[in-house]
Amino acid sequence: MDIIQGYAVAAGGAFSIVVLVHLLPYISPVVNRHWILGPWTRSGVIIQLVYIAVNIFCASFRASTIADVGLRAGTLAVVNMIPLFATPHLAFAADLIGMSLRTICIFHRSAGFMTFFLGLLHVIVAVASNVSLRLEVSRDLFAVIGGLLLCLLILLLFPPFRKPSYELFLRTHQALAVASAYAVWRHLPSDNLFPRVYVYVSAGLFLFMFVLQSGSIILRNGIFRHHLSRATIAHESGALKVRLHLQKPLKVNDGQYVNLWIPSVSFWSFLQSHPFMVISWEPSEQKSLDLLIEPRRGLTQELLYHAKKGYTLNPIVVFSGPHGPHVSMGEHESVLMVASGFGIAALFSHLKRLIYSYNARLVRARRIHLVWQIQDKVDGLAAQSRLNRALEEDKLDDGCILEVSIYVKSSVSPFPFGNRATMYPGSAPLEEIFLAEVSGSTIKTPWMLNANNSRRPSEKSEPKAPRADGDIEVSSFSAPTKNNEPGPAERDLETGSLERYLGTVKVLVTISGSGEMRDNLRKLTGALHRAVCLRDPKLPLIVARYHQCLCYETIYDMPPTARSVPQHRQQKFGTQLDTEWPEWKPFPYMFKTKHLIKAQRIRVEIHWEKLSGSPNAKVTTTREEGHTVSKGLALLDNKSTAIFLSADPDPQQLAVYIPGGAQLPWCRKKGFNLPRVVEDAIDTYTKAAPPPKPNKDKRHEVEQWKKHKGLWGVYHLGYWHAQGQSHKPPVLCADMLRTATIYSATLAFFRSIGPLAQTVGMLLQQVDPEAYALYRSNYESQCKASALGQFRVSNRSCFHCLAVLVNAQVGPHKDSGDVREGWVAMACFGNFKGGELCLPALGYKVPFQPGDVVLFRSAVLEHWIEPFNGTRYSCVFFTKSSSWKPD
């Protein structure tokens, strides 16, 4: 190259760079559109370039002739076919490898194009080398057939051929792929085993993955052990609501989906399987899965038709999955969820898990903002019940960490949408909403929480959402906009001056919406990325991820705060809680003078040292024997408090009976009726969380269950070691964690009976001050270090566990797992006759009537309940010895 040619190349290159920089703002919107090239990253581009370079190197390195390059290209094409046949279903491979479906799709697409271009190079070199092609030879014939099939595969990838019927495209694509692989195998020379080995590897890998996936489907559907799963299909406001009734419980993480095969819908449906998001979520395994489906064409339209006509009410279904990665949202203090149309289905399970985890104090989230863009009011009706349910479960700390903003393009004025949600006219102003969330100004702070706690739930003000037109009301970003002038957020976005909006919170943004919404948020993240760099180069940059299968885009902003638990969720121990009643200060003196001093003191022939020190004898008394023994026990007088004392020189209290003890601390306060409050709370709880059915092998349980028409059972609530798991840390009782709904109902129940826990603590303090101090110390230390703290509803709470007996008559037993030297507190409510508490070791039976309280040593004293008639509720407070760690 002479100097003139060098000058021409340099000048042309410089001019091209200037033109490219000038046209970059016009090119970027096209390049960034995810439906053309997808959201690409630098690392992705580098990996693709390396992949291309490696194949070029392998095809050309030390190749003596062009024919050698063509031969190597053909062999490399067969090698690149191996990942194309690695699995019959890409989602299964993604789950198995631990990658996202989008990453697997990129690999599949890259390998497919590489196979095609290497095969094309192989053909071009063969033609250029004047290689004779004889169609009567099977090897040459299949070479032509394989090339045509590969060309047809590439042609069908274009939207005009793919979009009219995706199901037809997918099956055609798979059939052509198998046919092309067979053609390649027939084209390879049979006298040389090595090139064909790659085809055998592909076939073996495909067969192995097929068997593995089939086994997974058989196992999860319980095909050979149970009947097949069925689906209940309904329609509402143009949407399909499908509930899968599983034959085996299944654990599904939030944000996962299943592939459904419903062969009875139409003639061609046996060839179709479709992915649908699971909108239900539970902390444990689910027995049914809920789906919200938008009817489009093909299978979904057929499902809607059948649902309207009632033809397919309970079809057989087979599913694979759940598929998809688990997106962790617990480390972010603010979560912004953006959706459009039926994209809301992808966010329901995340929303439910976040609220559940917030109530359980498992996440750091302090704010959740759901922004939903819909075209018409009717589009929102199908999801209204689920949104209302989420808002109802948002009750901890007086609720309102969840804000729902719905924007309707066809509406002209705002109007309410269920509970604490409003529909606003126009399009969602994503810029203002996004910048408000990033600033952290919308997150609840401790002083905001205290202000909210002073209001009743019925007085909660509806959270304001920014409107699409007129004044912009986004926390501290309130400023009027004029006609078509950009607002403050848009103006700053155009100039890149976003430093003043940056907060110190960690924000997560999830989007499940249209391409336009994705592009707008992607533009925002790019501008904010530049702002972070300008503000402090040492701060971690924003990382954008995108999961195409789940329609997510996550944006991490700003370094997280140092605390592990939000400050406003750390309860201040010692101050009166909103679940407590104001105490009557003279109560301790009144109880001591009128009840303890004047109490019946009954000395029994039992030595406490022997009772607590010797091995705890097992109970062998049957129910029938206990009923006979009870006839010989003296009935205690129910007109005054009774205290049972041991026969030791320093007598120890064994049991304390307090008639009407539940109402004693509140007898001087008008309108404070504790028995009525507890009965209403239990009635509400049994409706939200029905008692489990009795064991069929236990005749007395079945008889009681029938006698009370199903309103019978025992709830174990609180914090203990699971059975046989004493070597592991204590956990919340399983009865509380059956479903997210039951968990929320349990939390509400505890808050409702806060005055009962307060009363029990007050009575124990008067009966045994030293034991009260030990129980309180142990309880508070456990609350601060475990999930027990979320159920701390009184500053006088002492016991880890609560058993609620609903019309249950317990037989002779000892609570040997309780603290041996400790106490159990029992309170009885309802409307019944009978039901005396028998304590044979003391020689008495206690007339345990509604409102009475009994404290006794349940771990060493045998006891049971006599038969009764009516409705009887019993609340038993206790602490297991395995979790007893007093300071």
Q: Which whole number is the average pLDDT over 716-721?
A: 88
Tell me how far apart the alpha carbons of residues 682 and 675 are, in angstroms, rounded to a whole number.
11
Q: Which whole number is the average pLDDT over 627-649?
A: 91
Confidence of residue 545 (pLDDT cuts 50, 70, 90): very low
Q: Which whole number is the average pLDDT over 132-139?
A: 77
Beta carbons of 306 and 260 less than 8 angstroms apart: no
Least confident of 379-383, 598-602, 743-747: 379-383
pLDDT at 35 over 80: no
Q: What percent of the chain has pLDDT over 70?
A: 79
pLDDT at 869 over 80: yes
Residue 548 or residue 379, greater confidence: 379
Confidence of residue 704 (pLDDT cuts 50, 70, 90): confident
Confidence of residue 220 (pLDDT cuts 50, 70, 90): confident
- 237, two tokens: 């406001």
Say what the pLDDT of residue 683 is: 92
Cα dihedral sign, 452-455-456-460: negative
The 10 Å CB-count burial string (b at 16+, else e) for 125-138 is bbeeeeeeeeeeee
Q: Which whole number is the average pLDDT over 40-62?
A: 84
pLDDT at 717 over 80: yes
Least confident of 306-320, 606-620, 762-776: 306-320
Tell me how far apart the alpha carbons of residues 236 and 234 are, in angstroms, rounded to a whole number.
7
Q: Which whole number is the average pLDDT over 167-191?
A: 84
Say what the pLDDT of residue 769 is: 93
For 484-547, the three-class secondary structure string (H helix, E strand, C coil) is CCCCHHHHHHHHCCCHHHCCCCCEEEEEECCHHHHHHHHHHHHHHHHHHHHHCCCCCCCCEEEE
Residue 678, amino acid: V
The residues facing 603 across adjacent strands are 645
Q: What angle do CA 812, 816, 819 make, to 5 degrees?
A: 130
Query: Could you give the C-alpha distances from 440 to 87, 366, 383, 524, in angstroms and in order?
Result: 45, 10, 28, 16
| 34-217 under CATH 1.20.1070, yes or no | no
74-78: long-range contacts, CB 8 A cutoff, minimum separation 24: 74/118, 74/119, 74/122, 75/195, 75/198, 76/118, 77/114, 77/115, 77/116, 77/118, 77/119, 77/122, 77/184, 78/184, 78/188, 78/195, 78/198, 78/199
In the block, residue with structure tokens 């992808």: 346
Confidence of residue 346 (pLDDT cuts 50, 70, 90): confident
Mean per-residue pLDDT of the chain: 77
Tell me how far apart the alpha carbons of residues 404 and 523 are, in angstroms, rounded to a whole number.
24
pLDDT at 596 over 50: yes
Say what the pLDDT of residue 775 is: 94
How many Cα atoms occupy the beta-carbon half-sphere of 804 within 13 Å?
28
- 481, two tokens: 């906009």
| 627-883 under CATH 3.60.130.30, yes or no | yes
Say what the pLDDT of residue 538 is: 33
Confidence of residue 493 (pLDDT cuts 50, 70, 90): very low
pLDDT at 498 over 70: no
Query: Could you give the C-alpha distances from 166 to 103, 269, 594, in angstroms and in order?
Result: 21, 13, 82
**Range with top average pLDDT, 383-397, 489-503, 545-559:** 383-397
Residues in CB range of 491: below 8 A, 6 or more apart: none
Beta carbons of 722 and 778 less than 8 angstroms apart: no
The residues facing 261 across adjacent strands are 318
Residue 535 or residue 639, greater confidence: 639
Q: Which whole number is the average pLDDT over 874-880?
A: 95
Say what the pLDDT of residue 863 is: 94
Residue 190 or residue 681, greater confidence: 681
Say what the pLDDT of residue 504 is: 53
Confidence of residue 268 (pLDDT cuts 50, 70, 90): low
Residues in CB range of 601: below 8 A, 6 or more apart: 643, 645
Least confident of 256-270, 585-599, 729-743: 256-270
Say what the pLDDT of residue 26 is: 56
Q: What percent of the chain has pLDDT over 90?
A: 19
Q: Which whole number is the average pLDDT over 427-455?
A: 61
pLDDT at 856 over 90: yes
Beta carbons of 652 and 608 less than 8 angstroms apart: yes
Tell me how far apart the alpha carbons of residues 638 and 745 are, in angstroms, rounded to a whole number.
35
- Indicate the Cα dihedral angle 823, 825, 826, 827, nearest 10°: 160
Query: Could you give the C-alpha distances from 5 to 1, 18, 694, in angstroms and in order?
Result: 6, 20, 94
Residue 492 or residue 805, greater confidence: 805
805 exposure class (CB count in 10 Å sphere: 0-12, 13-18, 19+): buried
Say what the pLDDT of residue 225 is: 63
Tell me how far apart the alpha carbons of residues 180 and 672 are, in angstroms, rounded to a whole number.
81
Confidence of residue 478 (pLDDT cuts 50, 70, 90): very low
pLDDT at 399 over 90: no
Confidence of residue 442 (pLDDT cuts 50, 70, 90): low
Tell me how far apart the alpha carbons of residues 247 and 316 are, in angstroms, rounded to a whole number.
11
pLDDT at 549 over 50: no
pLDDT at 354 over 80: yes
pLDDT at 543 over 70: no
Q: Which whole number is the average pLDDT over 455-475?
A: 34
Taking residue 880's Cβ as centre, other Cβ atoms within 10 Å add up to: 20
For the 229-323 domain, the top CATH level (class) is: mainly beta
